[in-house]
Structure 1
Amino acid sequence: MQHLPNSLETERLLIQRLKYEDAEEIFYAYASKLEATQFVSWPVHQSVADTNRYLRQAVPAWKAGSAYHYSIRTKAENRLIGSVGVVNDKGNIQLGYVMSPTVWNKGYATEAVKALIKQLIVLNGVYRIWTFVDVDNGASQKVLQKAGMIEEARLTKWFRFVNQNNQPRDCVLYRWPN
């Protein structure tokens, strides 16, 4: 798969390759907030040091082509409000995102996901774009549906979300309809 661009722009957002310097903003915007991280695969961060550890693997993954992680910033204030990214397994692309609770229900996640998918669908070698969400995460399901993804399956006891007592949870699998 070809590399993704370092930055994307939408009407309201600047979507930029994650940098080590983003650590403190990431921590305070969403990584330290249990409500924001309830449905992600990683534990809520207890300190900026946790966020720095994450960035030490996320930033080099870009160069290796195995994952592409972006910050999401508002154009108006240049404020970091979330992140969006993909894990690349030889063209099998898993999409993920997380947003600050302060900007929920404003369409930012949908806008960012649409912008990233627009880049992915034209890349050579991409044959599948997918993600899964907790069956109880209705807001995220709406984001994916508005971005054009379709439900592919309901998966029983599919994933253990670390911030939900690590209990197996039912999930919904979404994919890009190519």
Structure 2
Amino acid sequence: MSNPLHRSRRATEIRFPETLDLGATVLRQLRLGDAEAVFRRYAADPEVTRWLTFRTLRDVEEARGFCTLMEKEWEAGLTYTYALLEPGDPTPFGTVSARVDEFHVSFGYAMARDRWGRGHGSRALSALVEAALAQDGIFRAWAFCDAENPASARVMEKAGMTYEGRLRRWHVAPNVSPEPRDCLAYAKVR
């Protein structure tokens, strides 16, 4: 039996904009038409997907499945997944997602290696954290990374999130091991 006091927020309560122009980084809703770029630019790269919660994609059909699911989750108000773009270039080089659950939003991100270290991740994450915390009823914005992925931890720190601690045996990085791994948790609250 479900608890009537525990329910996920829906699209009618929480909304994220379809597009955010952050200057050097543009975020727009991920679409099915982005599948080839998602596959080619980052999701088929074992170095990019090493610490992520999904296996390195084997073909563009898997990327199409991902993009289709993300469009449906956007419409349902569950997960808002953005394509990362540079101004004037319509080809996505990564994604960042915001998952709404009750009074908090969690984030995940990935991008092509040739875009690492340029500030795209921290710019995108910072903007989405602020957009989440500006909404009524959202009090916590958080994300985690594998304990052996310091570059991702730096993205969260640069986005204004505070280190909260180690989550022991929290997630599976299937490209590393089938066993749960330790993660570092970061958050910003209001």
> Match for residue 57 of structure 1?
69
List alignment gaps of at least 5 residues for structure 2. 1-12
Cα-Cα RMSD? 1.2
- Of 163, 169, 172, 1:151 maps to 163
What TM-score, normalized to structure 2? 0.89
Distance 2:91 2:156 in 1: 23
Show CA shifts across 1:87-141 (max 9, x none): 1112321111001011111111111111211211111121221111111111010
Secondary structure of the equivalent of 2:117?
coil
Show CA shifts across 1:2-61 (max 9, x none): 211101011111100011100001111111111111111111110000001111211011
Secondary structure of the equivalent of 1:88?
strand
Say which one has the larger Rg: 2
Q: 1:150–1:177: 8 Å Cα contact kept in structure 2?
A: no
- Please tell me whether residue 170 in structure 1 is matched to residue 165 in structure 2: no
How many aligned residue pairs are there? 178
Distance 1:5 1:99 in 2: 21
- Of 13, 20, 30, 1:8 maps to 20
- Of 130, 135, 145, 1:123 maps to 135
Distance 1:49 1:151 in 2: 37
Q: Which amino acid aligns with 1:124?
A: D
> Match for residue 160 of structure 1?
172
> Match for residue 31 of structure 2?
19
Q: Which amino acid aligns with 2:69?
A: Q
Q: Which amino acid aligns with 2:95?
A: S
The Cα shift of 1:177 comes to 3.5
Secondary structure of the equivalent of 1:164?
coil
The Cα shift of 1:151 comes to 0.8
Secondary structure of the equivalent of 2:175?
helix
> Match for residue 58 of structure 2?
46
Distance 1:116 1:24 in 2: 25
Q: 1:12–1:76: 8 Å Cα contact kept in structure 2?
A: no
The Cα shift of 1:76 comes to 4.2
Q: Which amino acid aligns with 2:102?
A: K
List alignment gaps of at least 5 residues for structure 1. none
Moved more, 27-36 or 122-131: 122-131
Q: 2:133–2:189: 8 Å Cα contact kept in structure 1?
A: no
